Structure 1
Amino acid sequence: MMAVGPSRGSPCLTGPDGGRRLKVLLVYPDFEISLEHGTRRFVGVEQGGWYSEGLASLSAVLKREGHKVSLYHLVRPPEKREFVARIREEEPDLIGFSSLTRSFPSSVDMAAWTKAERDIPIVMGGYHATHVPEDVVAVPQIDAVCRGEGEYPLLELIGRLEESQPFHDVPGLWVRTADGIVRNGPGGILEDPDKMPMPDYGLFDFSKLQASKIRTAIVLLSRGCPYSCTYCPNKRTRQFYGKSRPPIRFPSPEVSIARLEHLREVFPDVRYINFRDDILPWQGGWLDRFAHLYVSRINLPFNCNFRANLLTPRIVKTLKEMGCYQVFFGVESGNDRIRGEVLNRHMTREQIVAAFEACHSAGIATVAYNMIGLPFEDRGCILDTIKLNAEIKAGVSLNPAYHPFPGTDLFDVAVAEGFVPRGFDYREDRYLEQPTLSLVDLRFALKYFKTFVRLYRRAYSKPPGPARDRHIRFLDGLYLSPGLPRRALTGLADWRDRLLGWTKGALLARAPRVYLFLRDRLRGVRTRRAEAA
């Protein structure tokens, strides 16, 4: 059983009101271990080094109440001895794990190492805890599961621990007790983002973050998303809270700018902003007010996400005037049936094309997000995505494989169809096994997606007429041909990608400014300083 109050010997603090204050250690497994599909052979580790807005917000709220918070930011899998030594050094009263699905197995190992060392209460939150809580609560070393936003549940949990009171009924938590698991409903939320404390940017060592190597700051202003794409958990998050929480919340333009100014104080070397919001707020005059303040007080080039069917010429003009150099769009699939019926992304092909054309006309670079290997896809569906990417002339076309994540509608569809088992090792690069698309076809598409996009762009650049039509028909036949040696060509592409990956990694590690210079020239990014000169 867990310790109900602080562990003996833990360095409790005293708050302004004379009450005891606890020491909280946030553990952030920021890496991905990859195992090969099917064989579960070790493939490698993708090291992290990324800022987390959620952890910065948690820390700020806890520190405002006088608690001491530290971060164990793991950018690679730790050795047991290394991890236990850090726990001994910190001597926390409470440990909070933030876990994504891919890092969940590693978090389980670390929770077991912790309990073997000291009887410290452990709570786990994050995506996996929110949407697959039964997975998490089944781990005996985890005392509580935090579902949804963690600020209020964690504050109440700590309050109970301070008073050595039971916390089995804290809203937002599933709690392990001697009588079994208590599954509480949703906890409270911070309804007015303007009343939240500034994110605790100082929790992170910005000098060691991946984005900092290219002098970029990751920023997330909003919470939530009003859309219900089947591969995303946003719909189920809204269902979890019901009508008690607005579908999307964002601070006022004035508070948003204050946050950015605070960020520049912590990270004065920042030269670029990467807005990670699903969609920058655009309604009710928010974007216009924010744009005016951004230009006058921040004035840094930035990139952002946007939804193609929401983009208007006025929004494009505003983004350009603010200094936006790149917009990311979720295309996902070029097949109308897959995009609409399977993914629940109701936007037309014409809207997607128009959004990219509007950005190109304004001189804003574009990135297209796509997924390969979606449920019910075949070669023809993937070819539709290739051809749409050629038509929109995206500056960058990203084409990762679709990985089925539990806690989403699309995962349940894949399980029901027998494309994926309900339970598997989340570290595995799991692809769907479906009759319409073999793994050989899938791997070939992943490796040669960009090659065929370039080939079709050349064909589309020709004047309309018989020669252009013959060129397109030839490419169609080539891609769809059953005689194409896909397995051998995929092997060649593997060698190519290893070389390119090594080159990019070496530049980032040894000459990040050279990498940044080359990236800016390729994307056409100009800083305000360069424009003034």
Structure 2
Amino acid sequence: MAKGLFMYFDIETGYYPGLHHGLAYLMGSVNQDHDIRFLHIFSENHLLEAKDLIEKNDWDFVGSSFTTNQRKYLWELFEKTDVSNQFVIGGGVHPTLDKENTFKEFPEFDAICVGEGETSFLELCNRLDNGQDVSETPSFIFKEVDEAGKFKFKKNPVAPLMHIDDLPFPDYTVFDYKRIIKDGGNVFAMMLGRGCPYQCTYCASSHLWKEYPNPENWVRFPSVKRSIELIKRNLALYPDTQSIIFADDTFTVRKDWIQEFCAAYKKEIGLPFECNARVETIRDEVCEALKSGGVTSIDFGVESGSEWLRNNIVNRKHNNQRIIKCFDFLEKHNIRGFSYNIVGMPFETPAMMKATYELNRHHLKGARYGRAFYYYPYPGTGLHDLSVKYKLLRPKIENLTGYLEAPTVLEVHASHKEIRKWFKKINLLFAVRLMCDRFYLPRAVSEVVVSITQLFWRPLAEIVEPDKSNVVMRNINKKLKLIVKRFRKPGHSVYDSHEVRKIEVSQIQDEIQGEEKKMDNLKEGTIFSEERERTNNPLQL
């Protein structure tokens, strides 16, 4: 039986520390026959616990899963911890997207795992247990020393993508799941499907599929039978669950699956739920199925009100009217909308950020809650490469750990003051809408309150979206959230258990009518061929 330690870094991301669905699946796979300890590191105080666990135990391996914006904490851990006698492995989004630099950034790593790890980590554990050569394990890159004493790298083929029905069930008990779900308002976040067919240049998901020998299977949905079984198993862990969030990147990508799933969900589960969607996938029949199944809120990546920025920089080929039409569908079916937005993107001007605010303020009245995030560059993505090419990124952005902390771009197209202004105005807009809904104010009254608060946005925004350095305002903000949290309906949950990296992703499509036809024809295990052809030129500038 292999004995290992697996750490997940989740500190100061701007989200309440939540469940990581991929790691829950991985732990459900390896812990069936092995003894793997899991440590969810969501506070700097946990680094000392990690140091003790590493140094006081003889592990077969010590694994770390992390995103780009969590590197500083891994550096801090390795600086204080003796790992010289351990077999150290890196995994997660950052090592997968930036393999070569990961070994340079972290000389402590003996290997990195590329992509999904359920089958490859299980094989690694089996090889360790049986005394076999671990360097033959698929999906791993191993650092070795040649005869001259120099480092060389053994890159093994990446294991094929597995059908979700063939994977073991996720094990959420490795997390402090009761606290996480309770603090989230008894909302249980789960993930059913995997993959996204869209090609946003800022998103890691649009590049991860290229790692696999069977990328046509990147977009995968479990059978409806398996989905219902998974949900029931999860609910048995936390019977007080009042609502579910399906954290799939694009839950509505297959209309046929949605219709079948919602019918079964209504009959066998019956809890209200939220999900993520793309505006192109929302039509009357989809809303009808979701509403019948119990959906209360749908989250969308609006990202920007500038069509030029969305089309030419971000690779989201739909116009503002399509976004407005989508939220009109939600209003028609009495479904709340959640609007995700990004400010401070490369080439974004103050006028473009204002357009994002205006779109949400005046045209998306159905967006009852939402968020603005600062752009964060992930190495290996198209927008990161473009930012590097034109020297648009600030130095030392590795010290930024979340999406709510500070702008990451230089003051070329907009000052940081302007970026912060629109970041705070947009977040104040959604916070006030949420408050009005929580107190059941009529829509007309809500709009009056929004108008008044926007006149005094500067002092109010400091309460709603305090700077990280403003300790007093951050404490006030926390107390207000605890008060508002008591009014759970209506409105989006105040504490969000969504996956940390969850930002809506998108696809290039030329005409709305053509987009919808393709969506109708999309079957499981396919990726749009047009998107795959664009891989080598994702920006289309």
- TM (norm. structure 2) is 0.78
Partner residue, 2:153: 182
- Give yes or no for contact 2:344–2:375 (8 Å, CA) kept in 1: yes
Partner residue, 1:67: 34
The alpha carbon displacement at 1:86 in A equals 2.9
Q: Does 1:23 align with 2:17?
A: no
- Give yes or no for contact 1:301–1:325 (8 Å, CA) kept in 2: yes
Out of 108, 112, 127, the residue aligned to residue 160 of structure 1 is 127
Out of 372, 379, 385, the residue aligned to residue 343 of structure 2 is 372
1:414-453 paired onto structure 2 within 5 Å: 414-420=387-393, 424-427=397-400, 429-449=406-426
Q: In structure 2, how many angstroms separate the alpha carbons of the residues matched to 1:156 and 1:63?
A: 12
Q: Does 1:133 align with 2:99?
A: yes
Q: Secondary structure at the match of 2:298?
A: strand
Q: In structure 2, how many angstroms separate the alpha carbons of the residues matched to 1:395 and 1:249?
A: 30
Deviations 1:300-319 (A, max 9, x none): 11111110011110111111
Deviations 1:94-130 (A, max 9, x none): 221111111122123334555x166121111101111
Which moved further from structure 2: 375-384 or 220-229?
375-384
Partner residue, 1:400: 373
Change (3 A) 1:345 1:55: same
Q: Which stretches in structure 1 are left out of the alignment for 5+ residues?
A: 1-20, 34-45, 456-460, 463-474, 526-533
Q: Which stretches in structure 2 are left out of the alignment for 5+ residues?
A: 433-442, 445-450, 467-471, 495-541
Partner residue, 2:44: 77
Identity %: 27
1:198-217 paired onto structure 2 within 5 Å: 198-209=169-180, 212-217=183-188
Q: In structure 1, how many angstroms separate the alpha carbons of the residues matched to 2:218 and 2:196?
A: 6
Partner residue, 2:297: 326
- Give yes or no for contact 1:238–1:247 (8 Å, CA) kept in 2: yes
Which moved further from structure 2: 316-325 or 186-195?
186-195
Q: Give the letter aligned to residue 119 of structure 1.
A: N
Partner residue, 1:32: 12
Q: In structure 2, how many angstroms separate the alpha carbons of the residues matched to 1:280 and 1:264?
A: 20
Q: Does 1:258 align with 2:229?
A: yes
Q: Give the letter aligned to residue 93 of structure 2.
A: Y
Partner residue, 1:14: none
Q: Does 1:270 align with 2:270?
A: no
Which moved further from structure 2: 321-330 or 392-401?
392-401
Structure showing greater Rg:
1
Partner residue, 1:54: 22
Q: Give the letter aligned to residue 374 of structure 1.
A: M
- Give yes or no for contact 1:377–1:436 (8 Å, CA) kept in 2: yes
The alpha carbon displacement at 1:150 in A equals 1.0
Q: Secondary structure at the match of 2:271?
A: coil
Q: Give the letter aligned to residue 432 of structure 1.
A: V
Q: In structure 1, how many angstroms separate the alpha carbons of the residues matched to 2:276 and 2:407?
A: 27
The alpha carbon displacement at 1:421 in A equals 5.7
Q: In structure 2, how many angstroms separate the alpha carbons of the residues matched to 1:242 and 1:524?
A: 39
Change (3 A) 1:330 1:518: same
Partner residue, 1:301: 272
Q: In structure 2, how many angstroms separate the alpha carbons of the residues matched to 1:71 and 1:134?
A: 26
1:362-511 paired onto structure 2 within 5 Å: 362-389=333-360, 390-393=362-365, 394-420=367-393, 424-427=397-400, 429-449=406-426, 493-494=461-462, 497-498=465-466, 501-506=474-479
Partner residue, 2:504: none
Q: In structure 2, how many angstroms separate the alpha carbons of the residues matched to 1:48 and 1:522?
A: 17
The alpha carbon displacement at 1:397 in A equals 3.3
Change (3 A) 1:231 1:295: same
The alpha carbon displacement at 1:81 in A equals 4.3
Which moved further from structure 2: 333-342 or 241-250?
241-250
Q: Give the letter aligned to residue 101 of structure 2.
A: D
Q: In structure 1, how many angstroms separate the alpha carbons of the residues matched to 2:479 and 2:394?
A: 38
Partner residue, 2:502: none
Deviations 1:170-203 (A, max 9, x none): 3211111112232414421452211111111222
Q: Does 1:292 align with 2:272?
A: no
Partner residue, 2:525: none
Task: Give aligned pairs, total.
Answer: 461
Q: Secondary structure at the match of 2:17?
A: coil
Larger RCO, structure (CA 8 Å, separation 6 or more): 2
Q: Secondary structure at the match of 1:443?
A: helix
Partner residue, 1:317: 288
- Give yes or no for contact 1:80–1:113 (8 Å, CA) kept in 2: no
Change (3 A) 1:160 1:111: farther
Q: Secondary structure at the match of 1:168?
A: helix
- Give yes or no for contact 1:373–1:401 (8 Å, CA) kept in 2: yes
Deviations 1:474-507 (A, max 9, x none): x9xxx9xxxx9xxx98577435644775345236
Change (3 A) 1:296 1:501: farther
- Give yes or no for contact 2:95–2:113 (8 Å, CA) kept in 1: yes
Deviations 1:349-379 (A, max 9, x none): 2211111011011111111111111121112
The alpha carbon displacement at 1:168 in A equals 3.0
- Give yes or no for contact 1:31–1:48 (8 Å, CA) kept in 2: no
Q: Does 1:519 align with 2:499?
A: no
Q: Give the letter aligned to residue 408 of structure 1.
A: T
1:7-22 paired onto structure 2 within 5 Å: 21-22=1-2
Q: In structure 2, how many angstroms separate the alpha carbons of the residues matched to 1:373 and 1:171?
A: 39
Q: In structure 2, how many angstroms separate the alpha carbons of the residues matched to 1:85 and 1:524?
A: 36
- Give yes or no for contact 1:30–1:73 (8 Å, CA) kept in 2: yes
